[in-house]
Amino acid sequence: MPETLTKTTSADVDVVGPSTPSSDGKRASLPAEMLKFDLDRTAIFLDVDGTLLDIAPTPLEVYVPAQLREALYALWQQLDGAIAFISGRPIAELDRIFDPLRLPAVGGHGAEIRFLPKGEIRRSRIATLDDALRADFALISKIGKGIIVEDKGYSLAIHYRQAPEYGGEIMKNVVEICKNERCDSLEVLPGKLVVEIKPGGYDKGTGLREMMSAETFKGRRPIFIGDDVTDNAAFAALPEFDGTGFSVGGIVKGATFNFDGPQDVRAWLQRLAGVDHMEGE
């Protein structure tokens, strides 16, 4: 943990939340029901890219504001450890991005889980992508400049944020590669300027359920915040725990409130943690 972070005490939080822009451009207050949480009975699950962090041109270029680390660490203390990342990125990558902060985490869309910040990372026994298939998908980067094939071991992400014009051709190639039942055990998930390809059998929903069975999280009511198609499985798991979902950038099924962007999520977390005294980001 960062040595500079200060210890805060656990307490019920009744915050007047940050404002979010309404559709007519004016600032509107958050609904009262999401401004009051008993932190002794709450768990928080956070998607990372597009939810906590602003989207960057490439996966390696994301930026973590110091105030966000501070808020997450303060909440980790106040929630007695019941706060976790739930991401498509591998856990080692989350540790690198948020260094020196480590949190409990579900990584690789549910392929990995770590219950405690310094605990062991447990990996799914479900097969990773077959090597021949992985090699064929890697060739998709040759279609044009700006396409990035991110090989995460368990899964692949084909990014075309820097070359949106290739979206159609990329999907055509994926369909071609998947002919003859080669992808039958896989899930192909088109996201925002990305196609995620992962084995079936686990997802963010299975990850959230597993984390909720851990001592730190058990019996609490989860809040999950997410922004993309791979987050749907986590939203769908929430009713099992009487949980609450918040979306980012557009209301989705299972969400009761929508944040306009990651900046609003960060402001709310800072407010909840009581560290919103710090200026800007």
Ligand X SMILES: O=P(O)(O)OC[C@H]1O[C@H](O[C@H]2O[C@H](CO)[C@@H](O)[C@H](O)[C@H]2O)[C@H](O)[C@@H](O)[C@@H]1O
Select the span of 63-71, 150-158, 170-178, 244-252 touching ligand X (CB under 6 A): 150-158
Q: How far is the CB of 30 from ligand X (least distance, A)?
A: 22
Select the span of 16-24, 42-50, 180-188, 252-260 touching ligand X (CB under 6 A): 42-50
71 counts as binding ligand X under rule CB under 6 A? no
Q: How many CB atoms lie within 10 A of CB 154?
A: 22
Select the span of 114-122, 154-162, 165-173, 207-215 touching ligand X (CB under 6 A): 154-162
114 counts as binding ligand X under rule CB under 6 A? no
107 counts as binding ligand X under rule CB under 6 A? no
Helix (H) or strand (E) holding 265: helix 262-273
Strand partners, 53: 49
The DSSP result for 154-170, as a single string, is S-EEEE-TT-GGGHHHH
87 counts as binding ligand X under rule CB under 6 A? yes
Closest alpha carbon to 168 in 196, 205, 195: 195
* E strands in 148-241: 148-151, 156-159, 186-190, 194-199, 221-226
Select the span of 2-10, 33-41, 44-52, 253-261 touching ligand X (CB under 6 A): 44-52
Q: How far is the CB of 28 from ligand X (least distance, A)?
A: 26
* Tokens coding 270: 């800072």
49 counts as binding ligand X under rule CB under 6 A? yes
Of the candidates 30, 39, 48, 212, which one interacts with ligand X according to CB under 6 A? Answer: 48
Q: How far is the CB of 52 from ligand X (least distance, A)?
A: 8
Exposure string for 94-113, b = 16+ CB within 10 A, e = fewer: bbebbeebbbbbbbbbbbbb
Q: Which of 14, 38, 40, 47 is catalytic?
A: 47
Determine if residue 50 is left, alpha or beta; phi over 0 gives left, psi from -120 to 50 gives alpha, anything else beta.
left
89 counts as binding ligand X under rule CB under 6 A? yes
Indicate the residue among 178 and 193 with the shorter CB distance to ligand X: 193
Determine if residue 81 is left, alpha or beta; phi over 0 gives left, psi from -120 to 50 gives alpha, anything else beta.
left
Q: How far is the CB of 4 from ligand X (least distance, A)?
A: 26
Rounded-to-5 percentages of helix, strand, coil across the chain: 30, 20, 45
x/- track of binding to ligand X for residues 190-229 (CB under 6 A): -x-xx-x-------------------------------x-
92 counts as binding ligand X under rule CB under 6 A? no
List Cα–Cα distances, 121 to 51, 105, 184, in angstroms: 23, 9, 28
- State phi, psi for 28 to the nearest 5 degrees: -120, 145
50 counts as binding ligand X under rule CB under 6 A? yes
Answer yes or no: 231 catalytic: no
Indicate the residue among 150 and 264 with the shorter CB distance to ligand X: 150
State the catalytic residues: 47
**Residues at the contact surface with ligand X, assessed by CB under 6 A:** 47-50, 55-59, 62, 87-89, 150, 152, 157, 159, 161, 191, 193-194, 196, 228, 230
